[in-house]
Amino acid sequence: MPDYQLTIPPVVEPVSLAEAKAHLRVDFPDEDSLIAGFISAAREMSEQKMQRAIFNQTYVLSLDQFNYGDWRSTIPMARRNPLNYTALWEATALRLPMPRLVSVTSITYVDTFGVTQTLDPSLYSVDKSSQPARIVPAPSGSWPTSDYYMPGSVKVTFVAGSYGDGIQVNTCPASIKAAILLVLGHLYENREASTVASLKILPLGVDALLSPYRFYGGM
């Protein structure tokens, strides 16, 4: 399964410290740092449940190689001539997790000589409208050959976020904010919990609030 890591978190959180303290009915500053950490944790837990990034953040997807796709052997003859580009794209696409895609920062790969190369953006096309987003070779092009013997030789750095950067206007849907607040309250209430299991039992209503925004597609 492709591995992806968050490298740059969102600049702001969907729930402000003031909103969180009002929800928790805390009116003293002593635990501001603790609550701020719980806000981030609650947002991360909600994003993992949805498999969706809320505000813009940067990820790196690691792949063992490009998706070369033996498309000629899997596409019926009737769809090969004239060339069916939709079928070709499906066979060779790199699919990105945590929609929606905002931009692709770079694609790097280790070539057969062991040298890290950056793929020129003119050599690939990005489909941001799909979920998951797809990156395909440019028309009449193909993916370069990467080092087959190096795991994670292909890396895609990208920015994802379904509701903008959140800096000027908080466009996070109310249902998602409500779910984050529920998780936040659970974390705060169980902050002295002695077992991880007790923290994993989330409040009723979280799944229902997040379900309409959950990404169910595969990569």
- Answer whether residue 84 shows pLDDT above 80: no
- By three-state DSSP, how is residue 141 classified? coil
pTM of the model: 0.85
The predicted structure's pLDDT at residue 88: 67
How far is it, in rounded angstroms, from Cα 88 to Cα 48? 31
- E-strand stretches of the chain: 3-8, 57-63, 94-96, 101-110, 116-118, 124-127, 133-137, 154-160
DSSP, res 132: S
pLDDT at 197 > cutoff 60:
no
pLDDT classification of 213: cutoffs 50, 70, 90? very high
Cα–Cα dist 41/29, whole Å: 19
Half-sphere exposure of 213 (CA within 13 A, CB side): 27
Mean predicted confidence (pLDDT) in 96-122: 96
pLDDT (tens digit per residue) in 169-194? 889 999 999 999 999 999 998 887 64
Residues belonging to the chain: 219
Residues 7 and 98: their CA atoms lie apart, in Å, by 13
Q: Which residue ranges does the chain devote to CATH 1.10.3230.30?
A: 12-54+166-213
- pLDDT-derived band at 102, boundaries 50, 70, 90: very high
Q: Which residue has the higher pLDDT, 214 or 80?
A: 214
Q: According to CATH, what is the number of the domain 12-54+166-213? A: 1.10.3230.30
Q: How confident is the model at residue 200 (pLDDT cuts 50, 70, 90)?
A: low
